[in-house]
Amino acid sequence: MIMIKTKCRKVSIFALNISAMNRFTPVYEIMTEKVVFARTRNKFSEVQQFFIQFHVHHLPVLDDHDTLVGIISSTDLIKVYEEVLSGHTFVSKDDIDHLYPIAKIMSSNPVTVSSEETLHSAAKKLNENKIQSVPVVDNNVLKGILTVRDFVANVFN
């Protein structure tokens, strides 16, 4: 059994029984390969639309050379809105785009895994870093994303 700790919705411990998945199973077996990502040049409003349109909770951020430079979570967007709303003044979409460039809200140098890494190793990284997703990178190329949802989905497959 792999234990993944999370603070999502006041759940303190989320346990996954991966008896169907061997602890030595490689990440590529369950990762999401079709990754929705943002670019550093995207505006906040564009990134917000990616979350809504594609029903994702994490977006890797790539530069113009397709190098992974960060990751944005839906929580990061909420923090921006919380900051904006705490000001109690009218702020337009253009203002938010200008005040919150992607580089300002993303987490730089995200924790990553390789596609050949084991699920045990990936789950350990999620747990130790208190995160719910990791970009999958091979030879500096984004190959996918591994999320807690991927683990859950594969427990039932």
- Exposure on the CB side of residue 119, measured as CA atoms within 13 A: 26
Domain-located, residue 7:
no
d(CA 151, CA 114): 16
Residues 76-98: what's their mean pLDDT?
Answer: 88
pLDDT of residue 8: 47
Average model confidence (pLDDT) across the chain? 87
Report how many domains make up the chain. Answer: 1
**In a domain? residue 15:** no
Task: Let me know if residue 89 belongs to a domain.
Answer: yes
Q: Report yes or no on 156 lying in a domain.
A: no
Cross-strand bridge partners of residue 110: none
CATH of the domain at 70: 3.10.580.10
For residue 18, give the nearest of 118, 130, 111 by alpha carbon. Answer: 118
- Give residue 21's pLDDT band: very low, low, confident or very high (50, 70, 90): low
- Run of H or E residues at 41: none
Q: Is 94 domain-assigned?
A: yes
The pLDDT of residue 157 is 66
End-to-end CA separation in angstroms for the chain? 17
pLDDT tens digits, one per residue of 132-154: 999 999 999 999 999 999 988 88
pLDDT at 23: 79
Note the pLDDT of residue 63.
96
The answer to whether residue 138 is domain-embedded is yes
Q: Which domain holds residue 100?
A: 26-115+130-147
C-alpha 76/C-alpha 72 separation (Å) is 6
127 residue type, one letter: N
Q: Is residue 34 part of a domain?
A: yes
Full-model pTM:
0.83
Burial class (CB in 10 A: 0-12, 13-18, 19+), 128: exposed
Q: Let me know if residue 157 belongs to a domain.
A: no
